[in-house]
């Protein structure tokens, strides 16, 4: 059973995309964190909300970085926390990316799905990075990814970068790809799986499902796989694309 950790917020920033970045101070969390894992944060607003899962974007030197979009009550409460406040959370949780998958890595991220891919990308040799966003205002972390490898950006409406989807940019260069790491909306992940199968390339997908306990006890988070229903919080969030069954 994972224990609760207390993490002081030591930095807070609102990004131009409107998303909120927090830097948390907890050496144990930062030391143990692996790319693709997440934290499960208690929402202490007196309304007994379930904890909310947020990916670990980066972790080093005792500091853990998370970035999130405000969606509903839980993330609104989280966005209202400031420097000096303390969060109660469990983590790092889940099974992250397999870094030894071999060959040149293609990173494909969509929207808030780019956050869990950053720490992974930092550990890869010469990755190619394909990021997709709704529009120019939602483009985030482009410079940080570009510092790690060739980075191409697409927007749905063409207001920045190429018009269309990140996956289309990736497919044009697929002959150079050894393994795909992807996180983003379900339709994107489904398309990544299909592309990987078309080209005989291995792909790892980080799945997002609504969560309850976050530690394998409640079955709220299950996704369909070739070996039956599996818990995203415990056996994921990262799965081999071959295993996932999309409806």
Ligand X SMILES: Cc1cc2nc3c(=O)[nH]c(=O)nc-3n(C[C@H](O)[C@H](O)[C@H](O)COP(=O)(O)OP(=O)(O)OC[C@H]3O[C@@H](n4cnc5c(N)ncnc54)[C@H](O)[C@@H]3O)c2cc1C
Contacts with ligand X, 211-240, as mask; x by CB under 6 A:
x-------------------------x---
Which residues contact residue 238 at a Cβ distance below 8 angstroms, ignoring those fewer than 6 apart?
36, 94, 95, 96, 97, 98, 204, 205, 206, 207
Residues 179-238 that bind ligand FES (CB under 6 A): 211-214, 216-221, 231, 233
**Phi, psi (deg, nearest 5) at residue 48:** 55, 35
For ligand FES, the closer of residues 91 and 161 by Cβ is 91
Using the contact rule CB under 6 A, the part of the chain among 7-15, 140-148, 191-199, 204-212 near ligand X is: 204-212
User: Is cis: bond before 237, omega within 30 of 0?
Assistant: yes
Q: How far is the CB of 53 from ligand FES (least distance, A)?
A: 8
Kindly indicate which of the ranges 99-107, 118-126, 171-179, 207-215 contains the residues binding ligand X, using the contact rule CB under 6 A: 207-215
Angstrom distance (rounded) from CA 66 to CA 115:
8
Closest CB to ligand X among 92 and 201? 92
For ligand X, the closer of residues 124 and 138 by Cβ is 138
Least distance to ligand X from the beta carbon of 52, Å?
Answer: 4
Nearest residue to ligand X, using CB?
72
Q: Which stretch binds ligand X (CB under 6 A): 3-11, 101-109, 138-146, 203-211?
A: 203-211
Residue 201 vs 244, nearer CB to ligand FES: 244
Between the alpha carbon of residue 192 and those of residues 17, 90, 102, 188, the distances in Å are 25, 30, 18, 6
Laid out side by side, the sheet with 162-163 consists of 162-163, 150-155, 128-133, 105-110, 179-183, 202-206, 238-240
Please report, as residue ranges, which positions from 67 to 126 form the binding site for ligand X (by CB under 6 A).
Answer: 67-69, 71-75, 112, 115
HSE-CB for 244 with a 13 A CA cutoff: 30
Give yes or no for a contact between 99 and 124, defined as CB atoms under 8 angstroms apart. yes
54 lines the binding site for ligand X (CB under 6 A)? yes
Report CA torsion sign: 192, 54, 58, 20.
positive
Alpha carbon distance 112, 2 (integer Å): 26
Binding site for ligand FES (CB under 6 A): 211-214, 216-221, 231, 233
Site residues (vs ligand X, CB under 6 A): 38, 52-55, 67-69, 71-75, 112, 115, 208-211, 237
């Amino acid at each position: 059973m994972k224990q609760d950790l207390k993490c002081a917020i030591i930095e807070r920033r609102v990004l131009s995309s409107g998303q909120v970045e927090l830097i948390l101070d907890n050496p144990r969390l930062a030391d143990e964190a692996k790319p693709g894992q997440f934290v499960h944060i208690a929402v202490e607003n007196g309304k007994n909300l379930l904890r909310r899962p947020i990916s670990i974007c980066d972790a080093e030197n005792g500091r853990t970085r998370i970035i999130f979009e405000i969606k509903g009550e839980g993330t609104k409460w989280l966005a209202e926390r400031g420097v000096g406040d303390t969060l109660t959370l469990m983590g790092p949780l889940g099974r992250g990316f397999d870094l030894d998958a071999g060959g040149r890595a293609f990173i494909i991220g969509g929207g808030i799905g780019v956050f869990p891919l950053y720490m992974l990308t930092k550990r890869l040799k010469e990755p190619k990075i394909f990021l997709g966003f709704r529009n120019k205002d939602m483009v985030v972390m482009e410079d940080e990814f570009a510092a790690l490898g060739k980075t191409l950006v697409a927007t749905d409406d063409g207001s920045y970068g190429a018009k269309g989807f990140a996956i289309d940019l990736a497919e044009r260069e697929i002959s150079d790809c050894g393994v795909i790491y992807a996180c983003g909306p379900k339709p994107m992940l489904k398309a990544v799986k299909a592309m990987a199968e078309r080209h005989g390339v291995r792909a790892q997908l980080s799945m997002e499902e609504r969560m309850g306990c976050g530690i394998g006890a409640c079955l709220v988070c299950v996704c369909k796989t070739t070996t039956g229903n599996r818990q995203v919080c415990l056996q994921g969030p990262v799965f081999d694309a071959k295993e996932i069954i999309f409806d």
